[in-house]
Structure 1
Amino acid sequence: MSEDRFSLLIIGGYGTFGGRLARLLGDEPRLRLLVGGRSLEKADDFVADLRTPKDGAEGLGSNNLGAMVQAVSFDRDGDLTEQLTRLRPHLVVDASGPFQSFGKDAYRVVEACIDLGIDYADIADSTGFVAGIGGLDAAAKAKGTFALSGLSSLPALSFAALDAMTPHFSRVDTVAAGIAPSAHVKIGLNVVRAISSYAGRQVPVLRHGQPASGRGLIDAMRVTVAPPGVKPLRSRKFLLVDAPDLKLLPARFADLKSSFTGVGTEPQVLQRMLSLAARLVHLRLLPSLLPFARLLQRASHAFAVGEHRGGMFVRVGGVDHAGKRLSCGWHLIAEGDDGPFIPVIGVDALVRRLLTGVRPENGARPAAGELQLADFEAAFQRFSITSGISMENEETPLPLYQRILGSAWERLPPALAALHAGGARVASGRARIERGGGLLARIVARAIGFPKAGEDVPVTVRFVRDGDREIWTRDFGGMVFRSWQAEAKGRDRDLLAEVFGPFRVLMALVPDGEKLRLVVRGWRFLGIPLPMFLAPGGDTYEEERDGRFHFHVEIGGRLTGLVVRYTGWLVVE
Structure 2
Amino acid sequence: MVFEPVHNPRVLILGGYGNFGKRVATLLLKDPNLEVILAGRDITKAQQEVARLQQQIPHANITPLQLDWRAFDFKEKLKIAAPHLLIHSAGPFQAQDYSVVYACIDLKIHYIDLSDAREFVTGIITLDELAKQQDVVVLSGASSVPGLSSVIIDSYATKYTELREIDFGIAPGNKAERGSATIEAILSYTGKPFMRLENGRWKKVYGWQNLHRHYYGDNIGLRLHGNLDIPDLDLLPDRYPMLKTVTFHAGLEVPLLHWIMWHMSWLTRAKIVKDWSAFVKPINKLSHWFDNWGTDCGGMFIHLSGSNHDYQPLDIYWTLVADKGHGPYLPVIPSVIMAHKILDNLVPAGARPCLGLFTLAEFDEQIKDWDIYYTVQEVVS
TM-score, normalized by the shorter chain, greater than 0.5:
yes
* Equivalent-residue separation in structure 2 for 1:347 and 1:66 (angstroms): 22
* Equivalent-residue separation in structure 1 for 2:30 and 2:308 (angstroms): 44
2:70 maps to 77
TM-score normalized with structure 1 length: 0.63
Contact kept? 2:176, 2:328, Cα under 8 Å: yes
1:353 maps to 341
What residue identity is the alignment partner of 2:28?
L
2:353 maps to 366
Contact kept? 2:195, 2:203, Cα under 8 Å: yes
1:24 maps to 27
1:295 maps to 282
Describe the SS at the equivalent of 2:325: helix
Is it true that 1:246 corresponds to 2:237 in the alignment?
Answer: no
**1:193 paired residue among 156, 165, 184:** 184
What residue identity is the alignment partner of 1:383?
W
Describe the SS at the equivalent of 2:26: helix
Q: Deviations over 1:356-399 (max 9, x none)?
A: x25212110000211222111110101011113211111xxxxx
Is it true that 1:329 corresponds to 2:317 in the alignment?
Answer: yes
Structure-to-structure mapping, 1:102-181, within 5 angstroms: 102=96, 106-181=97-172
Cα distance change on mapping 1:30 and 1:354 into 2, 3 Å? farther
Q: State the Cα distance separating 1:288 from its structure 2 match.
A: 2.3
Describe the SS at the equivalent of 2:326: helix
2:54 maps to 51
* Equivalent-residue separation in structure 1 for 2:249 and 2:351 (angstroms): 27
Q: State the Cα distance separating 1:89 from its structure 2 match.
A: 0.3
Q: State the Cα distance separating 1:221 from its structure 2 match.
A: 4.2
1:285 maps to 272
Q: Which has the bigger relative contact order, CA under 8 A and spacing at least 6?
A: 2
* Equivalent-residue separation in structure 2 for 1:34 and 1:353 (angstroms): 19
Contact kept? 2:191, 2:209, Cα under 8 Å: yes
Cα distance change on mapping 1:220 and 1:327 into 2, 3 Å? farther
What residue identity is the alignment partner of 2:129?
A
Contact kept? 1:199, 1:216, Cα under 8 Å: yes
What residue identity is the alignment partner of 2:75?
T
* Equivalent-residue separation in structure 2 for 1:353 and 1:288 (angstroms): 39
**1:94 paired residue among 73, 83, 88:** 88
1:454 maps to none
Contact kept? 2:53, 2:60, Cα under 8 Å: no
Contact kept? 1:23, 1:50, Cα under 8 Å: yes
What residue identity is the alignment partner of 1:190?
A
Structure-to-structure mapping, 1:412-451, within 5 angstroms: none
Q: State the Cα distance separating 1:354 from its structure 2 match.
A: 4.1
* Equivalent-residue separation in structure 1 for 2:199 and 2:62 (angstroms): 51
Q: Deviations over 1:112-131 (max 9, x none)?
A: 11111111000001001000
* Equivalent-residue separation in structure 1 for 2:352 and 2:364 (angstroms): 23
Q: Deviations over 1:215-258 (max 9, x none)?
A: 110124432124xxxx4311122211111111111101112111
Is it true that 1:269 corresponds to 2:248 in the alignment?
Answer: no
Describe the SS at the equivalent of 2:299: strand
Contact kept? 1:186, 1:301, Cα under 8 Å: no
2:3 maps to none
Describe the SS at the equivalent of 2:213: strand
Q: Give 5+ residue unaligned stretches, structure 2.
A: 1-5
**1:208 paired residue among 199, 220, 239:** 199
**1:389 paired residue among 373, 376, 379:** 376
* Equivalent-residue separation in structure 2 for 1:287 and 1:161 (angstroms): 36
2:209 maps to 218
* Equivalent-residue separation in structure 1 for 2:89 and 2:246 (angstroms): 27
Cα distance change on mapping 1:31 and 1:247 into 2, 3 Å? same
1:445 maps to none
Identical counterparts, % of pairs: 32
Q: State the Cα distance separating 1:35 from its structure 2 match.
A: 0.1
Q: Give 5+ residue unaligned stretches, structure 1.
A: 53-61, 395-573
Q: Highest CA radius of gyration, 1 or 2?
A: 1
Contact kept? 1:28, 1:65, Cα under 8 Å: no
Is it true that 1:339 corresponds to 2:331 in the alignment?
Answer: no
* Equivalent-residue separation in structure 2 for 1:65 and 1:350 (angstroms): 25
1:255 maps to 242
TM-score normalized with structure 2 length: 0.94
Contact kept? 2:193, 2:204, Cα under 8 Å: yes
Q: Deviations over 1:200-227 (max 9, x none)?
A: 111211111111111110124432124x
Contact kept? 2:176, 2:326, Cα under 8 Å: no
CA RMSD of aligned residues (A): 1.5
Q: State the Cα distance separating 1:289 from its structure 2 match.
A: 1.4
1:483 maps to none
* Equivalent-residue separation in structure 1 for 2:295 and 2:114 (angstroms): 27
Describe the SS at the equivalent of 1:84: helix
Q: Deviations over 1:449-499 (max 9, x none)?
A: xxxxxxxxxxxxxxxxxxxxxxxxxxxxxxxxxxxxxxxxxxxxxxxxxxx
Q: State the Cα distance separating 1:4 from its structure 2 match.
A: 5.1
What residue identity is the alignment partner of 2:296?
H
